[in-house]
Amino acid sequence: MIKVKVPATTANMGPGFDSIGMALSMYNIVYAEEIKEGFDIVIQDGNTQIPTDEDNLIYKTVAYFYKNIGKPLPGIRLIQQDSIPHTRGLGSSAACIVAGLHIGNALSKSFFSKEELVQMAAQIEGHPDNTTPALLGGMTIGAMNDKDMKYVKVNVAENIHFAVMIPDFTLSTELARSVLPKEVPLKDAVFNASRAALLAASMITSDIDNLSLAMEDRLHQIYRAGLIPNMESIIERAKVYGAKGAFLSGAGPSLIAVVKNVVAFRKEMAAYLNTLSDVWQVQMLQADNEGAKVWINEELKY
Ligand code: HSE
C-alpha cells in the first residue's frame, strides 16, 4: 500500500504571480494500491463533487505518468481523504497532481527523483507556484521557460502564522484567469517586480515588517476583486487587526493574512466575517517546510 500526504499551497502571495508559492499546514492523504484491473476510487471525506471515474485528477495524473514512461496502466485503487477545500485557491488541483505523480512513481518503481517530479508537475500545471511548494514545502520562487523551471526554496520561520479566510463559494482558476488583461502598464509591472523581489528577500531574512508593502499587487488582484465579494474589505480589515501583509490566495477566493497575534486576530476577523452575507471561516495555519511525503508499506520513503 502506498500512502501520500500532500500539503495545501498558496500561490502568488500578492505580487509573485505564477512564480511564488508556499506550502501550508493543511493536508490531503491518498492511499493507493494495485488491483487486478480497472479502477476503484473511494472518497472518504464524503465530498460528492470529486469525480470517482476517469476524470478524477489523481487517477488522470497516474495514467499520464504511465503513458509518459511507456508502460501499461495497471488496475488501481485510490482512497482519498481530502482536507484541502476545492476551488478555493488553496492548491487542491496541485495536490492531486503531486499525489498522482508520487503514486505513479512508486507503483511503477520508476524511482524518478523529487527534482524530476518537480519539473514534471510544473509542466503539467503550466506554472510552478503550487506544485513546487506542494512537493518540496517552504516558499518557492520559480521561473519557467520552454524546457525547464529554475527555483529557489526558502524555509519559512515557524513563528510566522497565516490566517486563511475561506468562503463557502468557489471560484474556478479558469474564470479567475479569464478576467486578467493581456497587457499591463509599465508602472504596474515595475510595481510588481519591486514587490516580488522584496517579498522573496524579506521571507529569506524573516523581515516580516516589510510584508505589508511586499505583498501588494497590481497584476491580478484588482481584476479578480469583482469575482470575490468583500475581498478588498477583508484585506483592509486584516491590516486594521494587525496583519503584517494580506493577499488573495492563488486565483482565490480564499484570502491570507500574515499574523503575529494569532488569538486576537482570529477573534476580531471571525467577528467581522460574521457580518458578511457570504459564509467565511478563518483558520490559523503555518508554513509546511517539508512538502509531500510518501510511505510504501508504512515505511517513510521521502
Ligand atoms: N498563479 C495562478 C493564478 C495560481 O493566480 O492564476 C492558480 O492556479
Q: What is the pLDDT of residues 196-239, one digit of tens each?
A: 999 999 999 999 999 999 999 999 999 999 999 999 999 999 99
Cα-to-centroid distance, 18 and ligand 1 (Å): 6
Q: Using CA atoms, how far apart are residues 259 and 76, in angstroms rounded to an integer?
A: 42
User: Are 236 and 165 within one domain?
Assistant: yes
User: Are 28 and 175 within one domain?
Assistant: no
**pLDDT value of position 205:** 93
**pLDDT value of position 147:** 83
Predicted confidence band of residue 111 (pLDDT cuts 50, 70, 90): confident
Predicted confidence band of residue 96 (pLDDT cuts 50, 70, 90): very high
Model confidence at 174: pLDDT above 90:
yes
- Taking CB atoms and a 6 Å cutoff, what residues make up the pocket around ligand 1? 11-12, 17-18, 127, 129-130, 173, 176-177, 220, 250-251
Q: Using CA atoms, how far apart are residues 195 and 65, in angstroms rounded to an integer?
A: 37
Residue nearest to atom 3 of ligand 1 (CA): 251
Neighbours of 180 (CB within 10 A): 13
Determine what percent of the chain is predicted with pLDDT higher than 70: 99
pTM of the predicted model as reported, rounded to 2 decimal places: 0.95
Model confidence at 262: pLDDT above 90:
yes
User: Are 140 and 172 within one domain?
Assistant: no
Give the chain's domain count: 2
Q: Would you state the cell numbers that stand for residue 271, as one nine-digit string?
A: 467577528
Label residues 121-160 b or e (16+ Cβ within 10 Å = b).
bbebbebbbbbbbbbbbbbbbbebeeeebebebbebeeeb
Predicted confidence band of residue 302 (pLDDT cuts 50, 70, 90): confident
**pLDDT value of position 37:** 92
User: Are 109 and 190 within one domain?
Assistant: no
Model confidence at 13: pLDDT above 80:
yes
Tens of pLDDT, residues 27-62: 999 999 999 999 999 999 767 789 999 999 999 999
**pLDDT value of position 49:** 83
**pLDDT value of position 48:** 72
Residue nearest to atom 1 of ligand 1 (CA): 18
- Using alpha carbons, select from 193, 247, 238 the residue that is nearest to residue 215: 247
Determine the average pLDDT of the residues in 84-104. 97
User: Are 192 and 235 within one domain?
Assistant: yes
**pLDDT value of position 46:** 65
Residue 238 β-bridge partners: none
Domain that includes residue 202, residue range: 161-286
**Mean pLDDT for the chain?**
96
Residue nearest to atom 5 of ligand 1 (CA): 251
**pLDDT value of position 241:** 97
Label residues 256-286 b or e (16+ Cβ within 10 Å = b).
bbbbeeeeebbebbeebbeeeeeebebeebb
Model confidence at 187: pLDDT above 80:
yes
**pLDDT value of position 242:** 95
CATH number of 104's domain: 3.30.230.10
User: Are 148 and 296 within one domain?
Assistant: yes
User: Are 143 and 292 within one domain?
Assistant: yes
CATH number of 274's domain: 3.30.70.890
Which ligand 1 atom is at minimum distance from the Cα of 180? 6
